[in-house]
Amino acid sequence: MDFSDWLAEVSSQEYRIYIKRLSANDTGASGGHQVGIYFPKSVLGDIFPSLTPDKIQPDSFFKATVESHDLPEQTLRAIYYNQKTRNEKRITRWKDGVHYSPLQDHESTGSIAVFAFEADGASDCQYLRVWVCRHLGEEQLLESMIGNVEPGEVIYENGQTIFSGPLFRQPLNEESYPKEWNTNFPTGKEIVDYLFSKGFYSELSPDKRILKRRVKEFDLFKSVEASHVIPVIRNGFHDVDEFIFLANSILNRRKSRSGRSLELHLENIFKEEGLVNFGTQCVTEGNKKPDFLFPNCSAYHDQEFPSEKLRMLAVKTTVKDRWRQVLNEASKINVIHLFTLQEGVSLNQFKEMRSENVKLVVPNGKNNKKFHEDIREHLMSLDEFINETGREYDGFNSR
C-alpha cells in the first residue's frame, strides 16, 4: 500500500494515532533487557481502559499488523505491571508470529513509526495498524502534514484531528516575551537570541543547557504562535482555500524554525563558553556550506594554515539516512564531528560512521545512555567538544 493512501485510511475519529521516532531502546539497539516500543502509561490507559490498578497485572490481547512491510497479522498483549516495585504499562510479543519486524530491527533506529489503534476510548483496542517509514520520502510526506517529528517527541491524537492540520500539541504556557512579537512574528533566530539574552539555564552544563533551551524555545514559539493564530481560527474561514493557506503557513513557519534551531543554540552556547573562534555556513568545495568550521572560514581557505588544525562540526537533529550528507562538506578535514539529538544508532551504522571518520557528538546524560554500551565510549559530549576545541584555538583571532 502507498503511504499516502494508508494515511488517508487512518485519518478518522475511529483511530487513536501515536507517532514517534524509534529510539535505540525501542528497537533493541541499545542492548538493554527491555526490548519493545515505549508508550506513555497515559496513552495505553486511554487505548486499553481495562488496564486499571484495581486488578493485579491486568492484560488485554489484540490483533496487529505492520502494513508498511506486509507482515502477517500478530496477536499482541497490552499489560499493566503493577506489582512490587513496577508500575508501568507495556505492549509485548512484538516478535511473536513473525521472523522479522522493522520495529525490532536495529537499523530502524531513528525512523518515524505511526501506530494507528482502532479505539473509541470506551472499550479496549481490538486492532492496531503500524507503518514504519521506509525512506526519507515517506518521512517528509508525513512531516509536511503534521510538522517535524523530533527525537524524544511523541504525538498522540485521534486520526481526524492529527492529519487535518497543524496541532497545538501541548497546553499553552503563559510566557513573557517582547510585545512587538504579537504584531510581527519573530524569526527562529530572534527567539533563540532572546533566550540567550535572558540567560535561561546558563548555570547548567552545555549538554543539559541545549536540551532545556530547545524545550523552552518551542514552548515560547507556541505561545507566540497561539497569539497570532487562535484569533484567526475563532473568526472562522470564508472557504477551504483560506483554511489550507493558514495551515500551510503554520507548518512552513514551524519547519523554518526547526530547520536551524540546533545551529543557533549551539552558536550561542559556544559564545557563552568562550569558544568564539568559529565560522558558520562557510563556502567550501563544490559550494558546500558546513554548519561550523573552526577556527574560521578564512583559515580553511588559507593554504598556509595547517589542515590538521581545522575542525568541522555538522549538525543533524537525526542522523539515520542523513549522516552521509556531511561527508564531502569540507574535504580538507579528515575527522568530521557530527552533533545529533537522535536517541541511538545501530552498531552497523555506527561502524559505517567510524569507517568514514565521523565522530558523533551527543548531549551527555539521557541521550547518551540510549546508545549501545559498545558505542558510548566512542561518543563525545558537547562539553568535551567545546573544551577540546577551545584548547586547540585559544588565542586565535576569529573572523
Phi and psi torsions of 289, nearest 5°: -135, 85
Confirm whether 179-271 and 279-392 share one CATH topology: yes
Amino acid at 117: F
Residue-level length of the chain: 399
CA distances to 63, 82, 166 from 233, in Å: 39, 43, 12
pLDDT at 20 over 80: yes
Residue-averaged pLDDT of the chain: 89
Structure confidence at residue 355 as a pLDDT band (50, 70, 90): very high
- Residue ranges of alpha helices (H) inside the chain are 3-10, 24-27, 41-47, 136-146, 159-162, 188-198, 206-235, 240-272, 297-301, 347-355, 366-369, 373-376, 382-392
C-alpha cell, 333: 578535514
pLDDT digits (tens, 9 = 90+) for 96-142: 989 999 999 999 999 999 999 999 878 999 999 999 999 999 999 99
- What is the signed CA dihedral for 147, 148, 149, 150, rounded to 10 degrees? -150
Q: Could you tell me the pLDDT band of residue 228, with boundaries at 50, 70 and 90?
A: confident
Q: Which CATH number fits domain 279-392: 3.40.50.1820, 3.90.1150.10, 3.40.91.80, 1.10.10.10?
A: 3.40.91.80
pLDDT of residue 168: 53
* Domain 179-271 grouped into CATH 3.40.91.80: yes
The pLDDT value recorded for residue 396 is 46
Would you say residue 208 has pLDDT above 60?
A: yes
The confidence score (pLDDT) of residue 398 equals: 39
Map out the domains of the chain as residue ranges. Answer: 3-162, 179-271, 279-392
Lowest-pLDDT choice from 37-41, 120-124, 285-289, 343-347: 120-124
What pLDDT score does 165 carry?
A: 63
- Taking the chain, what is the end-to-end CA distance rounded to the nearest angstrom? 53
Looking at the predicted structure, is the pLDDT value of residue 292 above 50? yes
> Using the 8-state DSSP alphabet, how is residue 74 labeled?
E
Cell of 116: 494507528
Task: Judge whether 38 counts as a catalytic residue.
Answer: no
Residue 35 has a pLDDT of 67
In this structure, what are the phi and psi dihedrals at residue 372, rounded to the nearest 5 degrees?
-60, 145
Question: What is each CA distance from 7 to 116, 247, 358, in whole angstroms?
Answer: 9, 18, 36
Superfamily of domain 3-162: DNA-binding pseudobarrel domain (2.40.330.10)
Q: Among residues 18, 177, 300, 393, which one is catalytic?
A: 300
Nearest to 253, CA basis, from 316, 210, 190 = 190
Grid-cell match 557563552, residue found? 272
Q: Which residues contact 394 (CB under 8 A, 6 or more apart)?
A: none
- Cα–Cα distance measured from residue 166 to residue 171, given in angstroms and rounded to the nearest whole number: 14
- pLDDT at residue 238, as a whole number: 85
Edge-to-edge strand ranges of the sheet holding 59-66: 88-92, 74-81, 59-66, 127-132, 112-118, 15-21, 154-158
Residue 272 has pLDDT above 80, yes or no: yes
pLDDT at 169 exceeding the cut of 50: no
Mean of pLDDT values over 27-31: 91
Q: How far apart are CA 232 and CA 321, in angstroms?
A: 38
Biggest alpha carbon distance in the chain? 74
